[in-house]
Amino acid sequence: MFKYIKISLFFAFLSIVTTGCFFTKYHQTAYYDLEVVPVKLNTASEVRVSEFENESGTGSRIRIRTGKYRIVDAGYSKWVQSPGELLGRCLRKSFAGNFKNDAPDCFVSGTLTEFEVELDKMQFVMSGFYNVRYEKKQLNRKFNIAVPIKEKTPVEYARAASQAVNELGRKIAVEINQILKK
């Protein structure tokens, strides 16, 4: 009886030891944030940006589309926040310099439908919808921004994503300037 238990324990130990989980190299997760460029408005305004609703299917992992139907992640590379949170925070930072006491409030909200690297086209794509409100005026717009990537690295993906977010900030600033002028 003990012989069978010893043999069973030996093979159980042997199967555990020979599995890859004990011998794989540890990989530290790298987190990536976006570089934000301040946006200047023609008129002082407090721009209140809400977190964008994230319908892109992307979590905090950097998402890479390798073909029409295949999506992978960038291994141990992640965004510091989910794309909707990241976009909202970056836009708030880009408009922060326009605040003055008693300035009119503009509200920006939106939905993110795509936030990914398209490897077959060597570009980063960000698309969705945004809404700008000021008093009773409201604008709804669709955006689709594609930024070329030069190499297949997470740092390059973050650079391209930063460029896309900053371009969106400039587009929203144009809308805010128009709505405040009316």
147-168 pLDDT, tens digit per residue, is 999 999 999 999 999 999 999 9
- List 134's β-bridge partners, or say none: 137
Asked, for residue 83, whether it belongs to a domain, the answer is yes
Q: Which residue type, as a one-letter code, is found at position 15?
A: S
Model pLDDT, residue 161: 96
Instruction: Supply the CATH number for residue 128's domain.
Output: 3.40.50.10610
Cα separation of 37 and 94, whole Å? 6
pTM: 0.83
Asked, for residue 10, whether it belongs to a domain, the answer is no
DSSP letter (8 states) at residue 29: P
Model pLDDT, residue 12: 61
Q: Could you tell me which of 85, 83, 93, 168 has the C-alpha nearest to residue 132?
A: 168
Checking if the pLDDT of 53 tops 60, the result is yes
| pLDDT tens digits, 15-35 | 666 565 555 677 788 999 999
Q: What are phi and psi of 36, to 5 degrees?
A: -110, 130
Range of the domain at 173: 25-181
Number of domains forming the structure of the chain? 1
Q: Could you tell me which of 157, 155, 168 has the C-alpha nearest to residue 129?
A: 168
